[in-house]
C-alpha cells in the first residue's frame, strides 16, 4: 500500500510482519556471514520499515532493527566497548533522495558547502586503537557500542601498521575487505574441499576476520582502507579530505579515489563515474559515501542515536538480469568435487555477457528449488560471480518437475558420495580421468612418495602421450618411452627411473598420504600406518576401529573407510602391489642411540637444495632427533636455506634465528 494512504493500525501490522524477517536476515548477514538474500532486497524492506516508523513514531519498538547499529556480538571472541559509538550510515537509493539530503545541509549551513565523496567499500567496519603510536587493540563495530576483539587477527593484515609514524594516541576507523581475486581463490579452495562457498567478498572478509585462529585470517589475505577517527585531538586535519591525507602520512592505507565536490552536479558526476567503473576495481563497492568536508561542521551537525547527520550513503541500484535455465551441467574438479553449473540464455550483467552461473552444490539447488526451464533472477555476487538469486514462480512451466541430483560421476560413471561433513558431491574413484593428473602430481610430491623430477608439466605430458593412466602405471614407464618426451634426455630419464625405483621402498605412511584420501594428511597417515602395520589391515578396518586411534577422529576414519570400500580403490592397491610398491610400515624415525646436535631442535627447510631433496634432508633430520616444521617462528632453532629462499629466510633473519646453507648442513651430516 502506498505510504500516503496507510493508516497507523495498518502501518503497525505491516511493521510487525516485517521486523522478524529483517532480524532473521540481519543475523544471517552480521553474525553467520551467510546471507540468504541480496543486499538490495534487505535494503528495500528495511527502507520500507524506516518510512513506516518515521510516519508513525508510535509504532516503533525497542527491538526494531531500525534501532540497532550493525549486528550482535554473539561470537566466542572477547568483547570490546566503544566509548565513542561506531555509528552506521543512513542510506538513500535514488539521486532524488540524495539531492534532498544535500539541499537540506546547504540550506541549513549555507557558508560551508564542500562535500567529500568516497567509495563505499563492501567490507566489515573495524576500529584500531593506538597508544604512543603502537597498535594495542583492534575490534569490530558489533552493535555500535560493543564489538569483538580481533587484535591477533589484525596483526596478520599487512595494510594495518603496528607502529605509526608519530607516537600519538588515536583510534582509527575504517573498512576491512577481501579483494576480488582473493575472494575467487578462497571460494575455489572451499569448493575443492567440499565446503560451502561465501556469498560475496564482504561475508568472506567478515568470516575471515572473526576467526579464533589468527592463522586462518593470515591465509586469507585481507586488506583495509581507513577513513575516520574517533576524535581529532592529536591531528592537524580540519577537513575530511585532509584527514585522509594525514592518515596516509601516519602509515594507514586510504582509498585514493575520493574527491571534494561543491554541488549536486559534481556529486552526480562522481557517482556516474564509479557506477560505471565499479567492475574494474580490485575490490567490491556497493555505493558512494558523501560527507560534509569540514570536521568542525561535522561536530556541529552531530548525529542521531544511530547515524551521523553529516554523512549519507548512496547505494547503487542492483544489477540483475532475468534469464532462462536451459540445462544444468556437472563437472568434476581436481579433488573429486562434482559441481553443478546453470547453462542459460545469454544476458548482459555488470558489464559482461554471461551464459553460465555456478550452482555450487546439491543443497544450493534444492534450497532454491532450481529447475531446468525456470526463469530466474541472476546477479553478480560482489560484482564477480554470476549467481542465481531465485526463480520466478509465475513463469515456471506447468509441467515443471524438481531437478534430480545425479548419482553417478559425469566423468567416469562411478557412484558419487555425499560425505557427512561436506555439502558437495564427490567422486572418490582414484582412476577418474578428470582427477588423475592432479592425483599423480600429489602422489609424486615431496611429502608423499617424493618422486624427484615428476612435476605437474611432466605429468601432463605423460597423460597427453597416454604413457600413464593412474599412479600405478608410473612404475611401468621405461627408458625408451621417457627419452621421447619433450626436453627429456638420457640423464633425465635415468634420474626419473631411479627416483621411481627408490620410491617403491617408501614406508606405508607415504603411500597412504600419496593416495590423496580426503582429510588424511601426512601426520594422520603416519599414525594410521603405524597402528595397522600394513595396507591390508587398513583396508579391512572399520570406521570405528580407525577412529579409536589416538588423534584420529570420526571424520578421518569415515573418509578412510569410504575410500577403501570402493572397488576402484581396491583395484589400484592391487596394481601398486603388483609393481612392487611397499605396503608395510617402516619406522622412518628410529630412536637415536645418542644425542646429536639436532636433538630436540625445531628446524625449517627452505629454498632449493642441490645435492639432496628437501624430503631426504627432512628424513635425516628427524632420524637425528630434530623436529622439522613448515614455518618460521620465535620457537625455530635453525633454518637451512637452499637456493632462491624467500620469505622464510627473511623472517629468520629478522628474528635472528641461525641460518645454514646446504654446504654447512652437509658438513654436519658427515660428522
What distance in Å separates the CA atoms of residue 197 and residue 647, rounded to the nearest whole number?
30
What is the rounded end-to-end Cα distance, in angstroms, of the chain?
89
- Joined together, the cell numbers standing for residue 86 give 561506531
The H or E element containing residue 527 is: helix 522-532
Residue 112: the pLDDT is: 74
DSSP string covering 215-242, please?
HHHHHT--EEEEEEES--TT----BHHH
Mean pLDDT of the residues in the chain: 87
Q: Which three cell numbers stand for residue 669?
A: 651430516
Q: What are phi and psi of 139, to 5 degrees?
A: -150, 160
Least confident interval from 143-147, 198-202, 335-339, 567-571:
198-202
Integer-rounded Cα radius of gyration of the chain: 30
Closest CA to 656 of 642, 644, 639, 641: 639
Q: Which three cell numbers stand for residue 202?
A: 564482504
Per-residue pLDDT reduced to its tens digit, 159-218? 999 999 999 999 999 999 999 889 888 888 887 777 778 878 888 888 888 887 788 888
- Tens of pLDDT, residue by residue over 361-408, are 898 899 899 999 999 999 876 566 788 888 999 999 999 999 999 999
Q: What integer pLDDT is reported at residue 31 of this predicted model?
A: 58
Cβ contact 372:403 at 8 Å: yes
Tens digits of residue pLDDT in 594-614:
467 888 788 999 888 887 878
Residue among 55, 107, 120, 671 flagged as catalytic? 120
- Find the range with the poorest average confidence among 81-85, 119-123, 210-214, 295-299: 210-214
Domains of the chain: 3-67 (1.10.287.610), 79-315 (3.30.470.30), 322-395 (2.40.50.140), 433-578 (1.10.150.20), 602-669 (3.40.50.10190)
Note if 671 is an active site residue. Answer: no
Closest residue by Cα to residue 12 from 57, 43, 42: 57
User: Is 471 exposed, middle or buried, given 0-12, 13-18 or 19+ CB atoms closer than 10 A?
Assistant: buried
Strand partners, 130: 135, 170
Share of the chain above pLDDT 70, in %: 94
Average pLDDT in the 625-649 region?
85
Q: How many CA atoms lie within 13 A of 373 on its CB side?
A: 11
CA atoms within 13 A on the CB side of 90: 19
Does 514 score more than 90 pLDDT?
yes
| Residue 626 vs residues 293, 463, 586, 609: alpha-carbon distances, Å | 61, 39, 19, 18
Q: What value, to the nearest 5°, has the Cα angle with vertex 380 and ends 375 and 385?
A: 105
Tell me what pLDDT residue 589 has.
47
Q: What is the pTM of this model?
A: 0.57
Coil, strand or helix at 115: strand
Amino acid at each position: 500500500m502506498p505510504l500516503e494512504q496507510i493508516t497507523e493500525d495498518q502501518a503497525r501490522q505491516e511493521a510487525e510482519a516485517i521486523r522478524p524477517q529483517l532480524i532473521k536476515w540481519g543475523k544471517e548477514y552480521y553474525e553467520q556471514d551467510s546471507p540468504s538474500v541480496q543486499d538490495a532486497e534487505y535494503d528495500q524492506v528495511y527502507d520500507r520499515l524506516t518510512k513506516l516508523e518515521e510516519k508513525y513514531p508510535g509504532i516503533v519498538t525497542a527491538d526494531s532493527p531500525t534501532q540497532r547499529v550493525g549486528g550482535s556480538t554473539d561470537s566466542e571472541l572477547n568483547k570490546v566497548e566503544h566509548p565513542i559509538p561506531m555509528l552506521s550510515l543512513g542510506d538513500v537509493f535514488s539521486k532524488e533522495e540524495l539531492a534532498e539530503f544535500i539541499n537540506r545541509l546547504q540550506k541549513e549551513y549555507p557558508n560551508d558547502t564542500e562535500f567529500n565523496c568516497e567509495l563505499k567499500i563492501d567490507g566489515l567496519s573495524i576500529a584500531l586503537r593506538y597508544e604512543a603510536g603502537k597498535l594495542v587493540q583492534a575490534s569490530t563495530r558489533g552493535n555500535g557500542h560493543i564489538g569483538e576483539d580481533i587484535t591477533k587477527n589484525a596483526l596478520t593484515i599487512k595494510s594495518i601498521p603496528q607502529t605509526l609514524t608519530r607516537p600519538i594516541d588515536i583510534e582509527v576507523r575504517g573498512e576491512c575487505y577481501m579483494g576480488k581475486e582473493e575472494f575467487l581463490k578462497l571460494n575455489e579452495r572451499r569448493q575443492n574441499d567440499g565446503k560451502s562457498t561465501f556469498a560475496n567478498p564482504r561475508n568472506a572478509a567478515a568470516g575471515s576476520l572473526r576467526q579464533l585462529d589468527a592463522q586462518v585470517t593470515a591465509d586469507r589475505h585481507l586488506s583495509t582502507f581507513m577513513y575516520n577517527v574517533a576524535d581529532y585531538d592529536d591531528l592537524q586535519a580540519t577537513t575530511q579530505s585532509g584527514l585522509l591525507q594525514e592518515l596516509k602520512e601516519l602509515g594507514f592505507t586510504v582509498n585514493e579515489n575520493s574527491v571534494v565536490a561543491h554541488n549536486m552536479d559534481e556529486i552526480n558526476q562522481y557517482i556516474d563515474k564509479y557506477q560505471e567503473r565499479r567492475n574494474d576495481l580490485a575490490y567490491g563497492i556497493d555505493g558512494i559515501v558523501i560527507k560534509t568536508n569540514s570536521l568542525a561542521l561535522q561536530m556541529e551537525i552531530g548525529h542521531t542515536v544511530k547515524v551521523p547527520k553529516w554523512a549519507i550513503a548512496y547505494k547503487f541500484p542492483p544489477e540483475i538480469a532475468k534469464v532462462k535455465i536451459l540445462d544444468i551441467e556437472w563437472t568434476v574438479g581436481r579433488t573429486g568435487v562434482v559441481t553443478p553449473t546453470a547453462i542459460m540464455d545469454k544476458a548482459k550483467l555488470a558489464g559482461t555477457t554471461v551464459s553460465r552461473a555456478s550452482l555450487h552444490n546439491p543443497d544450493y539447488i534444492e534450497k532454491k528449488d532450481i529447475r531446468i526451464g525456470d526463469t530466474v533472477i541472476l546477479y553478480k555476487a560482489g560484482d564477480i560471480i554470476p549467481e542465481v538469486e531465485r526463480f520466478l514462480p509465475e513463469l515456471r512451466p506447468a509441467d515443471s518437475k524438481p531437478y534430480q541430483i545425479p548419482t553417478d560421476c559425469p566423468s567416469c560413471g562411478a557412484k558419487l558420495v555425499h560425505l557427512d561433513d561436506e555439502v558437495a558431491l564427490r567422486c572418490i574413484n582414484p582412476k577418474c580421468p578428470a582427477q588423475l593428473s592432479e592425483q599423480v602430481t600429489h602422489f609424486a610430491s615431496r611429502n608423499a612418495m617424493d618422486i624427484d623430477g615428476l612435476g605437474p608439466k611432466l605429468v601432463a605430458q605423460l597423460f597427453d602421450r597416454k604413457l600413464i593412466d593412474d599412479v600405478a602405471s608410473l612404475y611401468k614407464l621405461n627408458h625408451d618411452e621417457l627419452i621421447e618426451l619433450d626436453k627429456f634426455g638420457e640423464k633425465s630419464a635415468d634420474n626419473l627411473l631411479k627416483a621411481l625405483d627408490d620410491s617403491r621402498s617408501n614406508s606405508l605412511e607415504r603411500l597412504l598420504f600419496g593416495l590423496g584420501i580426503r582429510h588424511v594428511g601426512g601426520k594422520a597417515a603416519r599414525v594410521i600406518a603405524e597402528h595397522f602395520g600394513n595396507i591390508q589391515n587398513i583396508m579391512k578396518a572399520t570406521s570405528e576401529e580407525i577412529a579409536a586411534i589416538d588423534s584420529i577422529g570420526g571424520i578421518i576414519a569415515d573418509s578412510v573407510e569410504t575410500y577403501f570400500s570402493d572397488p576402484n580403490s581396491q583395484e589400484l592397491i592391487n596394481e601398486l602391489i603388483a609393481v612392487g610398491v611397499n605396503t608395510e610400515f617402516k619406522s622412518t624415525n628410529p630412536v637415536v642411540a645418542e644425542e646429536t646436535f639436532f636433538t630436540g631442535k625445531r628446524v625449517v627447510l627452505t629454498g632449493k637444495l642441490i645435492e639432496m631433496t628437501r624430503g631426504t634432508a627432512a628424513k635425516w633430520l628427524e632420524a637425528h632427533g630434530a623436529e622439522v616444521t613448515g614455518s618460521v617462528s620465535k620457537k625455530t632453532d635453525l633454518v637451512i636455506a637452499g637456493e632462491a629462499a624467500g620469505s622464510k629466510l627473511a623472517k629468520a633473519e629478522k628474528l635472528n634465528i641461525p641460518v645454514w646453507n646446504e654446504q654447512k648442513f652437509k658438513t654436519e651430516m658427515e660428522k
